Chains A and B, each alone.
Chain A
Amino acid sequence: MRGVIDLIGRDRPDAVFLIALLVLFLIGLAAVYSASTVISESGLFGKQLTWSIIGLIAFLVGTIISLRRLEEISPIIYVFICLLLLVTLFIGSGPANRWLIIGPLHLQPSEIAKAGLILMTAWWLASQKVRPRKFGETLIFLTVIPVVLLVAVQPDLGTAVSMLLIVLAMFVWAGYGVGWIILLVSPILAAVSSMNILLWLGFMIILTIILYRRKYPIPMWIVFMGGNSIVAALTPTAWNMLKPYQQSRLITFLNPSNDPHGSGWNIIQSEVAVGSGGLSGQGFLQGAQKELAFLPARHTDFVFSVWAEETGFIGCLILLTAFFILFWRIVIAARKSVNPFNSLVAAGAAAYIGIHVFVNVGMTLGIMPVTGLPLPLISYGGTQLVTVLFLFGLVLNAGMYWREV
């Protein structure tokens, strides 16, 4: 009988990983502190400190918990998270019903769901004994649909899409080729590419190459070429059948912006804040944009702008480098793990970091659309911090296991 805690047969923890994590953790506290100095709502920093302590405990739990045990209960965790999201849908509060309030706790279940989704996908993929060959195995992809849908209808399309990307990255890690991924999402690509004939031709050529190289039988050709042609042919018709106000609602849904007036105000202020940071920044707690309260959501989605304004290009490079080192060490941990589940959890964590950092920082720099994705470890928000730290605990845990087979 294995215990819940498993401390036997371990390597030393990865020091580089821990240092990078610590640097980011401290940057996060500093940035939230700076951003919260001008926020009328008091006690933000105190709350973040409390959450940090809970997060550290979660991190420790993640490092010593038995991963085998965790693997066994992953489907149960997943079902629990689906229920949690379902409950949130009905009794949730805050913008777009994203929050679940239990006494003093303000939880954002969609953040927890990201970790649950990683565990579930890892469990599924690890249970496949041989490298997948048959397309029928795509069915396992359907298991992630409930969580993604539950988040998408909140509505939080940004989070839902990021979840899908994490899952797809884990599939690639598990040995599913890029061609397979393209086939999987081909109906979406068909619908999008139908807007332009050249895009459509390009998509069909890629589809043909993939089908040829994978040596699929004739029926599969008919399914993919025919099915996607039908999707592409119907998309403009379906679109035109919608009334103008329905079209604009759909566009708003697909492009949820924090700014209903569409003035791009948030992005402009963020660009000005980042740009005015210059090489070395305006100094900690000295950001002018932040102080004039022009910077929106400065402690959550746009916390990077505060950091960039106050510490400049140098500070930003430190932050991005730390994230990249963290990412690199997670990928190393994923590669070293012989146990498929451990490896896949680490790969999922790596994808989580990569996607969130790029989407969030890209948004503050005006090269990505406005979505509500937080910057892991840095943005204010307890659920996100605890979830990420727990996930990193698992990664460290997996990295220490590699000698054991």
Chain B
Amino acid sequence: MLIKEKQWSSLAFMIMTLLLFILLGGRLFYLQIVKGDYYRGLSSQNHIRVVTKPAPRGLISDRNGVVLADSRPSFIVTAVPSEFDSMNTAQVASLLSITEESLTSILNQASSVPHRPVVLLASMSVEEVSSIAECIYRIPGVLIDVAPQRRYHRPEDCCHIIGYVGLSNDPESFRGEITGRTGIELSMNEALRGSPGLHREVVDAMGRIVEEYRGTGSDEPVPGTNVVITIDSELQRTALELLEKTALPGAVVIIDYTTGEILCAASSPSFDPNMFSRGISQDEWDALLQNPANPLYCRAWTASYPPASTFKIVTAYWLIAEGMITENTMPAPCYGSLTLGDTEFGCWTAHGRLNVISSLAQSCDVFFYRTSQLGSLDGLAEYAESFGLGSRLTDIFTDERSGLVPHSDYLDRSYGSDGWGLGNLLNISIGQGELLATPLQMAAMTGVIASRGRMPLPRLVLQREQRETFFPEEACDDTAFDIVTEGMLQTVIARRGTLHSVFADFPWDFWGKTGTAECSGEDHAIVVGFTREPEPIVICVIIEHGGHGGSIAGPVARDLLLSYFEGSD
């Protein structure tokens, strides 16, 4: 280090620091001398209040632009803790019909940020607010403000898909902010919520706004993003009406198998999400929870059922693709049951000697009992997973279940390695046993056949990009697709097909498969199927305790498709 340089360095140090200090002095001069009176006035008579302006939550609309969820203005009563005089507690509490204790506790909780209004009463109508407005206005620190309240236009139809909102209890959020609790409202919350604005207002001792603060500026709220979902709300409504007509809990899923777009995902019974927007009462909440049919529960993707005979399309595909059978394979006849060891595996009638196509059409269990013994449980389970079973298909339904595809290690864990055997494979081959699938998964499983393996993953938000398919390309087998498709066609057109009578007068081609899921009480009725014309869609209908698949779920599927296709002509 050379001493000469330090002369220059010290000069540079001094000059730079002097400039910075002059900058500070200049700012002080501006604040204290130039604007001193303004700030002195602010500090002695007025306060600054920071008011959060909620951002309008994004709209949710269906594929045809029908608005399903928007916001409407509602009145809220708020209090600014630092301006509120506790002398007025009793008066305010009686005006708002709340207890003094709850009012005090709201204000105490809010006292950490004393300048910011806290919500005392939300979602009030004009009538409610006008009756108290006159008295409220005289009380310092209590304000009436307008806040957006979520409104659902077809509340019951889409309640499980869209979900509902509630007051946020995230400490980062402002008081009174609403946040998604379930459905799209929850999974798309970040996009829908936008960001709140902040207004800084100068208020006088009575809490009246004098002016906007002239120092640091205000931030305007940024509205939330609108979300367009793939649902056709007309179709959704028809589906729910048909489900309700059966007076049994059930679900319908319809997917366009060329795009993966979910056109309909109805679950019955349903509920009114507007109850949550205006603040659900304890009675309403208890009623929802105690309803034995559990309306909050979405049967389209949160419930999983044994897919029963609908799963035979997977078993048949597996048998053909793995070369265990051909179209002409005819094992020993079905005499109405098959005995393995000392267990009897039943079929619903004696079918006689059938090939795979007729076995699908007439839903013969014995055919599959005999042929599946050629393969292994893990082989079948792997195919089931390729068809979309056993794992979640979307990331948008936060309450989507994964269902269950049992592998041998799963059965080892459950029963011990000696506790299970061929019987489990036989049960699974006809979709019973441990196998569980959601209606959404059953629709996707059918979609694999309909699209010959090219169906994209189901999706609910309308977007341009093509989503990847889920059926592995190496598992595609043209012969297997042809034969299973023919089996599903024969189910509808063959005289002894399980859907023959239901779809007798149906004007378009329909490929279907029935299922009767064994459970305690009456069996669950399931129908899956697809059409190519006029629209390429797959459908899955499940009616809990509806008995035999074709008898009650079949008519729902038929009537729904009729109404949809005739309406779209």
Flag if B5 contacts A289 (CB, 8 Å).
no
Give the size of the chain B interface in residues (CB under 8 angstroms).
50
Cβ B216 vs Cβ A366 within 8 A: yes
Which of A267, A275, A366 counts the most B-chain CB atoms under 10 A from its CB?
A275
Contact among B6, B190, B215 for A335, CB-based, below 8 A: B6
Whether the Cβ atoms of A131 and B21 lie closer than 8 Å is: no
User: Is B113 touching A274 in the complex (CB atoms < 8 A)?
Assistant: no
Distance in angstroms between the alpha carbons of A275 and B174 in the assembled complex: 29
Residue A136 interfacial (CB < 8 Å): no
- A206 to chain B: closest CB distance in Å? 18
Is A358 a contact of B20 with CB atoms below 8 Å?
Answer: yes
* A276 and B24 form a contact (CB under 8 A): no
A135–B17 alpha-carbon span in the complex (Å) = 28
B9 near A173 (CB under 8 angstroms)? yes
Q: Which residues does chain B contribute within 8 Å of A361, judged by CB atoms?
A: 24
Task: Give min CB distance, A71 to chain B, whole Å.
Answer: 14
- In Å, the complex CA distance between A320 and B28 comes to 11
Q: Is the CB of A261 within 8 A of B21?
A: no
- A175: Cβ under 8 A from any B Cβ: yes
Given A268-B216, A320-B21, check contact A289 B43 (CB 8 Å).
yes
Q: Return the chain A residue nearest B48 by Cβ.
A: A268
A 238-282 binary contact with B (CB < 8 Å = 1; else 0): 000000110000000000000011111101110111111111000
Q: Which of B3, B14, B31, B190 makes the CB contact (< 8 A) with A274? A: B31
A187 at the interface (CB under 8 A from B): no
- Minimum C-beta distance from A334 to chain B (A): 7
Cβ B25 vs Cβ A275 within 8 A: no
Q: Number of A residues contacting the other chain (C-beta, 8 Å)? A: 62
B28 near A294 (CB under 8 angstroms)? no
What is the distance, in angstroms, from A39's C-beta to the closest C-beta of chain B?
A: 15
Cα–Cα distance between A399 and B24 once the two chains are bound (Å) = 29
Judged by a CB distance under 8 angstroms, whether A312 is at the interface is yes
The verdict on B375 contacting chain A, using a C-beta distance below 8 Å, is no
Is B10's CB under 8 angstroms from A331's CB? yes
B43 CB, min distance to chain A CBs, angstroms: 4
CA distance A367 to B50 in the complex (A): 20
Taking a contact as CB atoms under 8 Å apart, the answer to whether B39 and A274 are in contact is yes
Asked if B5 contacts A288 (CB within 8 A), the reply is: no
A340, B1: Cβ atoms closer than 8 Å: yes
Query: Are A245 and B190 in touch, CB under 8 angstroms?
Result: yes
Partner of B31 from the list A175, A244, A271 (CB cut-off 8 Å) is A271
State which residues 1-19 of B face A: CB under 8 Å: 1-3, 5-7, 9-10, 12-14, 16-18
Tell me how many residue pairs across A and B have CB atoms closer than 8 Å.
155
Q: C-beta contact mask, A282-314 vs B, less than 8 Å → 1, else 0?
A: 000000110011100000000000001100110
Complex-state Cα separation, A262 to B197, whole angstroms: 10
Residues of A within 8 A of B200 (CB): 263-264, 268
| Candidates B16, B24, B215; contact of A271 at CB < 8 Å | B215
Contacting pair A279 B33 (CB below 8 A): yes
Interface string of A308-352 (1 = CB under 8 A from B): 110011001100100110011001101100101001000100110
B420 beta carbon closer than 8 Å to chain A: no
A residues within 8 A CB of B27? 362, 365-367
Kindly identify, within residues 391 to 433 of chain B, every residue whose CB is under 8 Å from any CB belonging to chain A: none
Q: Residue A174 at the B interface, CB < 8 A?
A: yes
Chain A residues, Cβ within 8 Å of B6: 173, 334-335, 343
Chain B residue at minimal CB-CB distance from A317: B25
Q: Is A369 interfacial (CB-CB < 8 Å)?
A: no
Query: Are B1 and A131 within 8 A (Cβ)?
Result: yes
Contacts of B82 in A (CB 8 A): 292, 294
Question: B78: shortest Cβ distance to chain A, in Å?
Answer: 15
- Closest Cβ of chain B: how far from A272's Cβ, in Å? 5
In the bound assembly, the distance between CA atoms of A261 and B113 in angstroms comes to 10
Given A288-B43, A324-B18, does the pair A365, B1 have CB atoms closer than 8 Å?
no
Beta-carbon contact of A338 and B3 below 8 Å: yes
* Chain A residues, CB < 8 A from B48: 268-269, 272
The residue on B at minimum CB distance from A126 is B1
A225 interface hit (Cβ, 8 Å) = no
Q: Which residues of A contact B138 (CB under 8 A)?
A: none
Q: Please determine whether A366 and B190 come into contact, CB atoms closer than 8 angstroms.
A: no
Contact with B along A112-141 (1 / 0, CB 8 A): 000000000000011000010000000000
| Neighbouring A residues of B213 by C-beta, 8 Å | 268
> When chains A and B are docked, how far (Å) is the Cα of A358 from the Cα of B483?
81
Let me know if B20 and A354 touch, CB within 8 A.
yes
Say whether B534 faces chain A, with CB atoms less than 8 Å apart: no
Q: Is A183 an interface residue (CB 8 A)?
A: no
Is A70 on the interface with B (CB-CB < 8 A)?
no
Which residues from chain B contact A308 at a C-beta distance below 8 Å? 28, 32
Indicate if A172 sits at the interface (CB-CB under 8 A).
yes
Picked from B3, B17, B44, B116, the residue with its CB within 8 Å of the CB of A263 is B116
Bound-state CA distance A332–B9 (Å) is 11
CB distance B40 to A275 under 8 Å?
A: yes
A169: which B residues are within 8 A, CB to CB?
13
A265 to B12, CA, bound (A): 37
* A313 and B29 contact, CB distance less than 8 A: yes
Whether A350 lies near B13 (C-beta < 8 A) is yes
Contact A343 B1 (CB under 8 A): yes
B495 sits at the interface (CB 8 A): no
Interface bits B89-114 vs A (CB < 8 Å: 1, else 0): 00000000000000000000000011
Contact call A354/B17, Cβ cutoff below 8 A:
yes
Q: What are the residues of chain A within 8 A of B216 when measuring CB–CB?
A: 264, 267-268, 271, 366
Contacts of A317 in B (CB 8 A): 25, 28
- Flag whether B72 is at the interface (Cβ < 8 A): no
- Once bound together, how far apart are the Cα atoms of A354 and B47, in whole Å? 34
Chain B residues near A (Cβ < 8 Å)? 1-3, 5-7, 9-10, 12-14, 16-18, 20-21, 23-25, 27-29, 31-33, 35-40, 42-44, 47-48, 50, 82, 113-116, 172, 174, 190, 198, 200, 213, 215-216
A–B pairs, 6, beta carbons within 8 Å? A131-B1, A173-B13, A294-B114, A308-B32, A327-B17, A361-B24
Q: Using a CB–CB distance below 8 Å, which chain A residues touch chain B? A: 125-126, 131, 169, 172-175, 244-245, 260-265, 267-269, 271-279, 288-289, 292-294, 308-309, 312-313, 316-317, 320, 323-324, 327-328, 331-332, 334-335, 338, 340, 343, 347, 350-351, 354, 357-358, 361-362, 365-367
Since A172-B12, A271-B39, A316-B32 are in contact, a sample of 19 more A-B pairs with Cβ atoms closer than 8 Å, ordered by chain A residue number, is A131-B1, A173-B6, A245-B190, A260-B172, A261-B116, A264-B216, A265-B50, A275-B35, A275-B38, A275-B42, A289-B43, A294-B82, A313-B33, A320-B24, A324-B17, A334-B10, A338-B3, A347-B9, A354-B16
